Homo-oligomer: A and B are copies of this chain.
Amino acid sequence: MERLQIKTGGRNQLLDVTEQIARLVRPHGKDAKAVMVYVPHTTAGILINECADPCVAADILEHLEMLVPPSASYRHSEGNSDAHIKASIVGSSVLVPVTGGELSLGTWQGIFFAEFDGPRSRHVYVTFLS
Contact across chains for B106 and A42 when beta carbons are under 8 A apart: yes
- Chain B residues with CB below 8 A from A89, complex form: 89-90
Q: Is the interface of A mostly helix, strand, loop or mixed?
A: mixed
A24 at the interface (CB under 8 A from B): no
Q: Which of A5-13, A15-23, A56-64 contacts B (4 or more CB under 8 A)?
A: A56-64
Contact across chains for B129 and A33 when beta carbons are under 8 A apart: yes
From B33, B42, B67, B74, contact of A50 by CB (8 A) = B42
A binding-site residues for B, Cβ under 8 Å = 1, 33-34, 36, 38-42, 47-50, 53, 55-56, 58-60, 62-64, 67-68, 72, 74-78, 81, 84-85, 87-97, 99, 104-109, 125, 127-130
